[in-house]
Amino acid sequence: MGCWGSKNPTPSNPVSDGETTILGKPLEHINKFYNLGKKLDVGDLATTYMCKQFSTGNIYACKSVRKRLLSSKKEKEVVKTQIEILNRFIGEPNIVQIKGSYEDRSFVHIVMELCTGGDLFDKIEAVVNDQSYYSEKDASEIFRSIMNAVQSFHSKGVIHRDIKPENFVLSSNNEDALLKAIGFENSVCIKDGKGVQDIVGSDFYIAPEALQGSYGKEIDIWSAGVTLYVLLSGRFPFENDDEIKSGKIDLSGGPWVHTSPAAKDLVKPILCCKGNEAKDTPMDNDVLSRMRKFRAVNKFKKLALKVIAESISEKEIKSLKSMFASMDTDKSGTITYEELKIGLNRLGSKLSETEVKQLMEVADVDGNGTLEYLEFISAMMHRQRMAQEEQFYKAFQYFDVDNSGYITRDELERAMKEHDMRDETSAKQIMSEVDTDNDGRINYDEFCAVMRNGTMQPQG
């Protein structure tokens, strides 16, 4: 049966006409049209599967959103909007293509093209493997594809709101593979002259206008500029919200010494076409080294957070999502200390102000002063039944299969394979960056250091 088994998440009971739907069309089972195969990814609300179309035999990706985890009208609208936005970009080369959407009593299924070439950093590795170096010209070509996608968004009244390297993937492993935008969960449709207020996006890539709570299409340009900065230097331009708001970038030292004036001009707030001025000479080796470290450490932390999140039952997730939404009074997507204190008090918590502060400090893994959803889960689990140290230890044990007290490269590769991160080079790179005492293994202290230090932006 290969990867095609009886994994369809669709219930077998028949659907009936007239039921209230999210998509506004009759309920129908996806298994009339597709066979769902192996899992590709597991998120808070959805699981993505490989799927095969019965009529053609073509292989696609199917994102199955569990409806009972959509606890509010707004969350249901987000799913519907995501599908509507994807349908706007049929035929656009640098945007992932939607093939269809289906809804039954338990799930909303979004069928999209299957992109098998990895993310933007895989593209860079492929360039290096092909020509033995990575140049400004390579970065320029990648950035051009990103801006082609951004231009498509804006021409059709869409703000992506989460432009970052992880949200660009290669269509295939072929040399001529296209770079395609994904990750439309935060995207919105706007009308000319009207702004957006709610704060969404990813730390370090978020624009100052978004932090201030009133913005338009310009935030995608800013995030694309941050992405270019990463492509050219292997590090973030800003480390916290205050630095983002200041907009001050140092392009004088480190990796920028050998960078062309045209590239530096492109990184600055006003972006312009780079054209043929990009140099086709190898960048400083330190840039590629930093970029690999940047990618490896972040990939490891993402995997560990997945392990923690997947250990929580569906019932707990639904309860915590409702709790998170009720505490997030300004609908920013994050919870401040004040919101946490007021929310806990409303729920009848007897925690003192000092204890709430301690809870906030423990759960704020990335140290940015607010709790994102995964951090909130960590905080509530800390309050209800376990400390963060215990969560980390539980995740560590997942990797440490033989209970030796260390994570070996074989054990790391096993975990990566289970979560479809089948990149041996990444496993090797993760080991070299996380294993700070260079004994060939990751001990518990090294593991916790990654989890506590957020993205662990590489220095030097």
User: At 257, which CATH number?
Assistant: 1.10.510.10
The residue assigned the tokens 């959803």 is 373
Residues 126 and 246 in one domain: yes
In the predicted model, is pLDDT for residue 406 greater than 90?
A: yes
Residues 451-455 have a mean pLDDT of 58
Question: Number of structural domains, the chain?
Answer: 3
Q: Is residue 319 part of a domain?
A: yes
d(CA 103, CA 80): 11
Tell me what pLDDT residue 8 has.
Answer: 54
- Asked if residue 306 and residue 248 are part of one domain, the reply reads no
- Residue range 84-102: mean pLDDT, rounded: 96
Structure tokens at 44: 């808070």
**220 catalytic per annotation:** no
The answer as to whether 189 is a domain residue is yes
* Same domain for 122 and 109: no
Answer whether residue 442 shows pLDDT above 80: yes
The domain boundary, picked from 49, 83, 113, lies at: 113
End-to-end CA distance of the chain: 50
Query: What are the backbone dihedrals phi and psi of residue 273, each rounded to the nearest 5 degrees, phi first?
Result: -70, 130
Domain that residue 249 falls in: 118-273
Any domain includes 280: no
For position 359, what pLDDT does the model report? 73
C-beta of residue 159 within 8 angstroms of C-beta of residue 216: yes
Mean pLDDT in residue range 75-99: 94
pLDDT of 124 > 80? The answer is no
Inform me whether the pLDDT recorded for 297 exceeds 50: yes
Q: Which of 119, 122, 162, 364 is catalytic?
A: 162
Query: What local confidence, expressed as pLDDT, does residue 387 receive?
Result: 44
Q: What is the pLDDT of residue 258?
A: 80
Residue 247 has pLDDT above 70, yes or no: yes
Report how far Cα 331 is from the mean position of its chain's Cα atoms: 20
Higher-confidence position of 161 and 137: 161
pLDDT for res 385: 43
- Check whether residue 127 and residue 108 sit in a common domain: no
Residue 254 belongs to some domain of the structure: yes
Residues 124 and 259 in one domain: yes
Stretch among 36-40, 148-152, 317-321, 442-446 having the lowest mean pLDDT? 317-321
Most confident of 38-42, 87-91, 118-122, 431-435: 87-91
Rounded mean pLDDT of 188-193? 77
Predicted confidence at residue 133, as pLDDT, reads 64
Q: How high does pLDDT run on average in the chain?
A: 79
Half-sphere exposure of 137 (CA within 13 A, CB side): 10
